[in-house]
Amino acid sequence: MAFSKSELVEAKRQIDSTLHKLRETVKTLEAKEIPSRYKSQITLARRRIDAFEISVFLIERELMELDEES
């Protein structure tokens, strides 16, 4: 499936925003008085961060390929 450069740029922008929020969520949960109570939420947030970082990498690679074709 092919995406336009503008679609990829917007997708990356949205993912970057979500990544920022997830990282802040992890910081907040880890700073709680008893962070072990939030272990599953922290694990889920970290796994989502990993998945979104892969997505950003793939989007950036696709954008580089589009730039090379131009």
For 8-65, how does the pLDDT look when each residue is reduced to its tens digit (9 = 90+)?
A: 999 999 999 999 999 999 999 999 999 999 999 999 999 999 999 999 999 999 999 9
Q: How confident is the model at residue 70 (pLDDT cuts 50, 70, 90)?
A: confident
| pLDDT at position 31 | 97
| Residue from 21, 28, 55, 56 nearest 42 by CA | 28
Please give the Cα distance from 63 to 70 (Å, whole number).
Answer: 11
| Lookup: tokens for 11 | 């997708």
Better pLDDT: 69 or 49: 49
pTM reported for the whole predicted model: 0.91
